[in-house]
Chains A and B, each alone.
Chain A
Amino acid sequence: SAVISQKPSRDICQRGTSLTIQCQVDSQVTMMFWYRQQPGQSLTLIATANQGSEATYESGFVIDKFPISRPNLTFSTLTVSNMSPEDSSIYLCSVEYRETRETQYFGPGTRLLVL
C-alpha cells in the first residue's frame, strides 16, 4: 500500500503569512493532487501537480494564492499565500500509481488554522 507523508501535520498561522505544505511519497507516482477540506465539508480539488511544469488549477483557485511545485515523481509542495481565516482547512495530497490507475491514495492531511 502507499506510504504518503505530509508536513506539517498541523499549524496555527497569522493572517497575511504563507505556509508551505510538503507531500512525500514512498515510490514514483503518475499523478499528484491537492485538495482542501473545509470544516465539516467535503473535499474540493485545488489542482493537479504536474512534474516539471505548471500545475493545472481548478475553477476558483489561482497560482498566486496556491503556488504548487512538483520537482520529481515523489514530492510536491503546496503553498497557501497571504492567508486569511477563510483558509482554515485541512489540506490533503493524493497520488495515483500507474499499476492502480484512477485509484487515489490520500495523505494524512495538514490541519491549518489561521488567526
Chain B
Amino acid sequence: AQSVTQLDSHVSVSEGTPVLLRCNYSSSYSPSLFWYVQHPNKGLQLLLKYTSAATLVKGINGFEAEFKKSETSFHLTKPSAHMSDAAEYFCVVRSYSSASKIIFGSGTRLSIRP
C-alpha cells in the first residue's frame, strides 16, 4: 500500500524568506514523486518530479525538492518567497505496483506576508 502525508495544512512566510513544505510518503515499491501547484481559480501545474534519477530535483519558479529514501521524505523548498508563490501545493506519489496508483496529498496552503 502507498500513502502520502503533507505535514502542514497551512504555511505562512514573509516575502523574501525561505519556504519549506513538508511531504512524507509510504510505498511498497520505488515510487515516483511530484509536486503540483494550484493557484486560485487556475489549473494544476507541475512544479517538479522525481523519477529515480538525481535525488535533488530542481523545478520551475526556483523551487526544488530532495528525495530522502531513509526518511521517506520529499520536502519542497525555495530560498526566497515571492508574493506570486501564494497557492495550494500538492505532493503526489505514484507507484507502478500491481495496481497503478496516483495518490495526492491533502495539500498545503502557502500564504506570503508582505
Q: Are A103 and B49 in contact (CB under 8 A)?
A: yes
B interface residues, Cβ below 8 angstroms from A? 32, 34, 36, 43-46, 49, 51, 90, 94, 100-107
* Segment touching B, from A14-22, A75-83, A105-113: A105-113
Q: Are B94 and A102 in contact (CB under 8 A)?
A: yes
Main secondary structure of the interface of B (DSSP, over half): strand
Task: With A102-B49, A106-B43 as known contacts, state yes or no: A42 contacts B106, CB within 8 Å.
Answer: yes
Q: Which residues of A contact B46 (CB under 8 A)?
A: 103-105
A91 sits at the interface (CB 8 A): no
Q: Are B102 and A42 in contact (CB under 8 A)?
A: no
Complex alpha-carbon distance, A58 and B107, angstroms: 20
Q: Which residues of B contact A106 (CB under 8 A)?
A: 43-45
Task: With A45-B102, A92-B44 as known contacts, state yes or no: A102 contacts B51, CB within 8 Å.
Answer: yes
Q: Are A108 and B43 in contact (CB under 8 A)?
A: yes
Beyond the given A42-B107, A92-B44, could you list 14 further A-B residue pairs with CB under 8 A, ordered by the A residue number? Answer: A42-B104, A42-B106, A43-B44, A43-B90, A45-B102, A45-B103, A45-B104, A102-B94, A104-B46, A104-B102, A106-B43, A106-B45, A107-B43, A109-B43
Complex alpha-carbon distance, A33 and B51, angstroms: 20
Tell me how many residues of A have a C-beta within 8 Å of chain B.
19
Q: Are B43 and A44 in contact (CB under 8 A)?
A: no
A interface residues, Cβ below 8 angstroms from B? 33, 41-45, 48, 56, 58, 92, 94, 102-109
Q: Which residues of A contact B100 (CB under 8 A)?
A: 48, 56
Complex alpha-carbon distance, A45 and B93, angstroms: 12
Q: Which residues of A contact B36 (CB under 8 A)?
A: 104
With both beta carbons as reference points, the residue of chain B lying nearest to A100 in the complex is identified as B46
Q: Which residues of A contact B104 (CB under 8 A)?
A: 42-45
Q: Which residues of B contact A102 (CB under 8 A)?
A: 32, 34, 49, 51, 94
With both beta carbons as reference points, the residue of chain A lying nearest to B100 in the complex is identified as A48
Closest Cβ of chain B to A93, distance in Å, is 11
Complex alpha-carbon distance, A69 and B49, angstroms: 29
Task: With A33-B102, A103-B49 as known contacts, state yes or no: A42 contacts B43, CB within 8 Å.
Answer: no
